[in-house]
Structure 1
Amino acid sequence: MDEDLKELDAMLRKIDAKVKRNAGYKLIKIIKKTLPTSAFIIFGIVLFLLIVIAVGAMLNSLKFFKIDDKVEDTCCEETSEFLSPKKISIYQEIENNSYTEYKDGEENVTEYLDGEETNQYTNEIDINVDMAKEHRLHWQLLAAIDLLSGLGGDPKDNTVEKLSKEITPSFKYTEYSETITSEQYIEVEVERQIPRTNKTVIDTVQKLQKTVIKRPQFVIKSVSSALFDVDYEYEKIKITDEFGNTRECYTIINVNKKVNNRLENFINNRKFKGRLTTKNILEIYDMGVEFPESSDFANYMLEYMALNTNISVAIRNYNGEGNYSVTEDNKTYRVPIRFEREKSNNNKVYISSFFGERYLTIAGVTKKNFHRGLDFAVPSGTPIVAAADGEIVRSDYSKSYGNVIEIKHNDTYSTVYAHNARLLAKVGDKVKKGDIISLSGNTGVSTGPHLHFEIKQNGNPIDPFDMLNLKVIN
């Protein structure tokens, strides 16, 4: 047994001697003796390799940001990126500078007491230019064009800013004079001598005080905006209120609005290098309404698309929101609006003005008039339908009603549809209840996009509300 152990020990010693002569063993031995220093060196080598790998990846990725001159037109096809705050600020400033809301002026005031002039003076005032803001160059239009053209992603590019002058509104004004007269009785103290005495008494008496104010009235004669050429006609009127005060001024009697080609020329400018065409009009609208405070822009663009016969309008039915509910009552006349969900029992409409006497403000002039129908507040371009079966007896333009259609239903009743953007039915056409006859708009003397609807009985307007399938939302 002892001899076997001795042989085994001798064999292990020989193996150990061979291992010690191996280079790897020697390296391990060195590392063991100098472990702290070796660990630092190994860590440094690993870190260096990681840095080399990272830098290589970065250099390799840089090629994706290099713009090749040969593919410049396609490198910016992505239009979903947002504009820089600086660009938006520039476009908002362009909008603010695109119209004049006030002009400097002065008013002359003359005061009378019982018919005798007692005082006269002049005031420096700011005179409001009515309707000017309506025609401003909307910043959302510029922002949408910038993005869709593929230039919006470059904060240094100012192509749209420079070209915006081509669609900045051009105004022509007319200056009239308006006169405001007010009267009231005031108490005045007067001295009175008592006959045959030296006594003087003070009496309080009522005298008629009259104030006459004359001031300029600046109105727009015509304007060429980014989308429309508009001419205004005025007439002089006298308005008397319930207290006997009067105002003599000029008010709008006709608005002649036509689509121009300024926006189309702007889009086709060679500096956009064919990035945009008139086929992108709907996309410009869809993108523009995504920006803040875009309701006015939306109405303006919808009216443009509805009036422009060169644009194939994708009819957008009304979404069925409002302050009055459309019922399923089987009445002779239906609400004359095409809804997105025609068969829904939850459709609603906004009624902005009712049948009867009202006060109406147009271009800064408020006057009392009799409203002959109902006003449905719907966006321009909303499909308008026949309220009942009948025949088109009128399809033309009226100064006050704009583009108007009238349908004769029988010998007693007819219906009127006014302020349309586009008329889709002509005189003599036979229509069924629910057939599309026009697209709503803002033509004629109108305060905003809506449909004016009338029901006539023997030629006289009657209140349409009770004859329609409507009820108040509680």
Structure 2
Amino acid sequence: MRNIYLVAALILSTIIFSCEKKKTNESRPEENRPVKKVPPQIREYGYLLNDYRVVRDTIRLGDSFGAIMDANGVTRGEVFRISETVKDTFNPARIVAGKPYTILKAKDSSAAIKAFIYENDRINYTVVDLEDTIKAFTAKKPVTVKRKTASGVITSSLSGAMDHEGLSILLADKIADIYRWKIDFFKIQKGDQFKLIYNEKYINDTVYAGVENIEAAVLTHYDNPYYAFEFGKDSVSGFAKYYDNEANSLQSFFLKAPLKFSRISSRYTKRRFHPVQKRWKAHKGTDYAAPTGTPIWSTADGIVIKSSYTRGNGNYVKVRHNDKYTTQYLHMSKRNAKVGQRVKQGDVIGFVGQTGLATGPHVCYRFWVNGRQVDPYKQNLPSSEPLKEELKPSYYLHIERLKEELDSVPFKKIPKKIL
């Protein structure tokens, strides 16, 4: 009997142990079970891309909207209907080679196109939506603006200084635009220094999208500090206006030069050996050497009084600015202005070339005062409209903090080799 009890107890213990073990195993997660990863949700252009088959490509030379849609299963009749419906928002005939586009397709076997997205530029895009009804709209990618400061020393050129500091070349263009009335960048000096407070745009907070604006700057040139503070916009062009620390406008009636970033190859002189005619004669202009095709600006507002070609001048344009001042631009590869046309300061009136009596690509810039040809760099030229007196108190208040912040940014040291 005793043995029977022992056997029964042993069996009962075994059953209880097995149940506990099973319970434990059931409650413990399986360590080797593979974890199914959920793909991250990707939203772009206002769509959840996970829901579509995504095709990304770039417009190529010879591509058309119809051909792209046809290659993706849309009939010609449907393409015509889409084009007619969206033509007020999206003109299929004006797609440009090099622009990216994205096509969203259904994931099912039909692979039907649900949307066509055309990138007008890095920020703006146009959507042709075919989901339910045909419609089109324009939108912008999310853009954030980051405020920054910078400092640098010019050892060769302004663009070279930007590159050395790891800054965008677009900043050099912006600075040149701000100071083009005050500083002759063809006379830029080694050792000139600059400091900036500026804003940059970023798409989705990471992809660089250019310079938003320069709030404040100071550029030392021949040891003189030239301050620039953004304040208001031009009522005609919409461009930002800049003034110095004494509320003087940085803009002048005339630009310092008729083109950007070049070099003066020959100045106004009463005696120069002509490289083509091989004789000594007066050179009543300033030559700016630049690559063929470089845009040439009108240095002030005016009316085009001549746009023609002669054996000596080549293609040239002449602009009368008022009863006192006239300018002329010679040796163009192509003219971009017609007689009688009104031009604004900075308008492109032609492109650098070497037509006429010229040995290399350049523009010869000539300047008349009261009908007499003179050297523009020896003239006391008029400034643009000054800041109104009633706006000066708010201007000084506006720049007070900016100047203090700008002055607190240290100048980069000038390398010993150029001191």
TM over 0.5: no
Of Structure 1 and Structure 2, which has the larger fraction of its residues in helix? 1
Which structure has the greater CA radius of gyration? 1
